[in-house]
Amino acid sequence: MDKVVFGQYYPTDSVIHRMDPRIKLLAIILYIVTVFFLVDYVMYAAIFLFVLTITFIAKIPFKVLLRTVRTIIFLVLITSIINLFFTTGEELWVEWKFIKIYREGVEHAIKLALRLILLMLFPSLLTLTTTPMELTDALESLMSPLKLIKIPVHAIALIMSIALRMIPILMEETNKIMLAQKARGADFDTGGALKKAKAMIPVLVPLFVGAFRRADELALAMDARCYSSVAKRTKYKVMKLTVKDLVASVVCLAVFSLVFLNKYLWGFDEMILALFK
Amino acid sequence: MPIKFENVNYEYPTEDKSVVAVKGVTLEIEDGSFVCVCGENGSGKSTLAKLMNGLLAPTSGVVTVDGRSTATEEETELFAIRQKVGMVFQNPDNQMIASIIEDEIAFGPENLGVPREEIGERIDYALSAVGMTEYRYNTPYKLSGGQKQRIAIAAVLAMKPEVLVLDESTAMLDPKGRAEVIKVAEELNKQGITIVLITHFMEEATRADRVIVMNGGSVVMDGTPAEIFRKREEIERYDLELPVADAIAAALIGEGLPLEDRIYSASELAEAICRSK
């Protein structure tokens, strides 16, 4: 089924895909918060296990999930290395000329890397299992209380969905314009960054002019179909919470409370260390 | 009588001088008719179309739809007119709002506040009327031009219009796509929907039961296709071209060949010439 032509949506027929997008969105926000409450390695491991379980249920190959991490691997490495060298602590592990590495530094670096990877994994899980349209609908629904303070929630959601719809069209147009310019001898591939950027100008100008023309025509077409941001509209697609959404919410909250309790009450690492002593 | 023009003028306001696009047009479009408006570029035919559903209000004169003037500021009044007079534009990509066909068709009824269950029924009806039922859950992005325009027609049909205005909707299509759209228009006309087809392809006029030729903003010819096609020289003066078969037929009649005075397709003409020894 070619439902989506862009983005990283990975279509399977899993329970996770069919979940209410609002719950998924809220869960992801909750987990991003959770990541900042993780203290010890056991919890990190637990959360990673949790991510892998979701990925498994969602029938997404781990390879696909890992691919999303690859984009930030550089950031992860640099921040970890900086932390490794510049964190000072009490237990000195390595000392060589001016370089001093402390135990705390190593720990910091590892945890930071894990944290960054988790911060990338969770939103990826969302976009892999939810279409952009569903996300837009979810946002509209979740933001609807803002209507009370006169924020045009519906208009914002509509703008987002039109933007999403226009992405493939504008991409196609960009390609066409580039080919047209190439046919007339334009060179996009050689030269330094500045030269390449300059070469893009004859592509961008017609692209923008075209986009404005499209916007004009689209507005006319919407007028012709009686669109009004103020009138009372009905909605054809209604999102409904089902049992699986409730179950998912409970599981998510349970994991979150576990992490939270661990931070403020227990401390699994110490417990395990105590066992070995 | 759904649409009535009374001495209508329309001027496009520009910076120094205004451009008169429609001059002193008086005409009536009757219920259930299939009207074709022909004219070269800049003849005012598209402006005429936009005057029919209140997208433009006349500078002087009156346009009425079912007795309601289109020159109203009242949104509910305008919406009532636009619901009755649906409009499909030239570029299919610039008139679609949603990324999924079902949502696209729901947009109009949603704007009108049609109850949810009924929108579902209307989508069924509209898609089957244009023969696109199996594409309901697809994205419009990968369809052919003709299919996209059929979806655009379905999106208007879901609003249950009495008149369907096709504003150069075939201009960007290949011959196959053009034939698809015209076929749908003919079928809808049989079901009682008034069709106003704006075009510069005269062969599309053969299917109509009335042809209006515009030039320089005025209606210069108005009659049945047979009446219009007979006046070959006059048509050519307005920079329009008769379909080849009819041009030949007109020339032969002019030379005294006893052909029946009607519209011919290529094969019909060949047969008629063979029979007319």
Residue B275 lies in a domain: no
Residue B184 lies in a domain: yes
- Report the distance separating Cα B179 and Cα B37, nearest Å: 17
Dihedral Cα A45, A51, A57, A62, nearest 10 deg: -100
In the prediction, which pLDDT does A206 show?
93
In the prediction, which pLDDT does A4 show?
38
In the prediction, which pLDDT does A5 show?
41
With contact defined as beta carbons under 8 Å apart, do A221 and B98 qualify?
A: no
Nearest residue of chain B to residue A131 (CA atoms): B99
pLDDT grade for A6, boundaries at 50, 70 and 90: very low
Mean pLDDT confidence for B190-197? 94
Rounded to a whole number, what is the distance in angstroms from the first to the last CA of chain B? 46
In the prediction, which pLDDT does A259 show?
83
With contact defined as beta carbons under 8 Å apart, do A24 and A94 qualify?
A: no
Locus of tokens 């075009």: B199
- Report the distance separating Cα A42 and Cα A233, nearest Å: 50
Say if the ipTM goes beyond 0.90: no
Are A236 and B53 an interchain contact pair (Cβ–Cβ within 8 Å)?
no
pLDDT in tens, A103-156: 888 888 999 999 999 998 988 888 888 888 888 889 889 998 988 888 888 888
Q: For residue B143, is it left (φ>0), alpha (ψ between -120 and 50) or beta?
A: beta
Mean pLDDT confidence for B251-262? 77
Mean pLDDT confidence for B190-200? 93
Nearest residue of chain A to residue B121 (CA atoms): A236
Beta strands in chain A (DSSP E): 92-96, 99-102
pLDDT in tens, B19-66: 889 999 999 999 999 999 999 888 999 999 999 999 999 999 999 999
The residue type at B226: A
Mean pLDDT confidence for A161-177? 87
With contact defined as beta carbons under 8 Å apart, do B187 and B214 qualify?
A: no
Residue B252 lies in a domain: no
The residue type at B154: A
In the prediction, which pLDDT does B74 show?
86
pLDDT grade for A270, boundaries at 50, 70 and 90: low
Domain count, chain B: 1
CA geometry: angle at B224 spanning B219 and B227, to 5°?
A: 90
Are A234 and B110 an interchain contact pair (Cβ–Cβ within 8 Å)?
yes
**Position B139 pLDDT exceeds 90:** no
CA geometry: angle at B143 spanning B141 and B148, to 5°?
A: 90
The residue type at A184: R
Burial class of residue B233 in the structure, from the number of CB atoms within 10 Å of its CB (0-12 exposed, 13-18 middle, 19+ buried) = exposed
Residue B258 lies in a domain: no
On whether any CB of chain A is under 8 Å from the CB of B161, the answer is: no
Residue B133: CATH number of its domain:
3.40.50.300
pLDDT in tens, B151-189: 999 999 999 999 999 999 999 999 899 999 999 999 999
In chain A, what are the domain boundaries?
A: 15-130+247-276, 141-224
More confident site: B228 or B148: B148
- Report the distance separating Cα B241 and Cα A105, nearest Å: 82
pLDDT in tens, A190-230: 888 888 888 888 899 999 999 999 999 999 999 999 998 77
pTM of the model: 0.80
Length of chain A: 277
In the prediction, which pLDDT does A273 show?
66
**Nearest CA to CA, how far is A180 from chain B (Å)?**
19
pLDDT in tens, B206-247: 889 899 999 999 999 999 988 888 888 888 888 888 888 888
Q: Average pLDDT, whole number, for chain B?
A: 89
Considering only CB atoms, B94 lies closest to which of A3, A5, A214, namely: A214
Q: Which site among B139, B143, B160, B164 would you substitute to test the A interface, given the most A Cβ atoms closer than 10 Å to its Cβ?
A: B139
In the prediction, which pLDDT does B95 show?
92
Selection from B13, B21, B65, B74 nearest residue B43 by Cα: B21
Sheet holding B34-38, edge to edge: B85-88, B163-167, B194-199, B34-38, B210-215, B218-223
- Report the distance separating Cα B152 and Cα B161, nearest Å: 13
Domain encompassing residue B187: 3-242
Q: Over pLDDT 90: what percentage of chain B?
A: 60
In the prediction, which pLDDT does B277 show?
65
- Report the distance separating Cα A89 and Cα B96, nearest Å: 61
pLDDT grade for A3, boundaries at 50, 70 and 90: very low
In the prediction, which pLDDT does A192 show?
84
In the prediction, which pLDDT does A7 show?
58
Are B142 and A223 an interchain contact pair (Cβ–Cβ within 8 Å)?
no
More confident site: A95 or A208: A208
With contact defined as beta carbons under 8 Å apart, do B241 and B247 qualify?
A: yes
Are B94 and A233 an interchain contact pair (Cβ–Cβ within 8 Å)?
no
Nearest residue of chain A to residue B114 (CA atoms): A234
With contact defined as beta carbons under 8 Å apart, do B156 and A225 qualify?
A: yes
Angle, helix A73-86 to helix A103-129, in steps of 10 degrees? 160
Nearest residue of chain B to residue A236 (CA atoms): B116
In the prediction, which pLDDT does A267 show?
64
On whether any CB of chain A is under 8 Å from the CB of B110, the answer is: yes
Q: What is the SS3 assignment for B60?
A: strand
DSSP B164: E
With contact defined as beta carbons under 8 Å apart, do B99 and A132 qualify?
A: yes
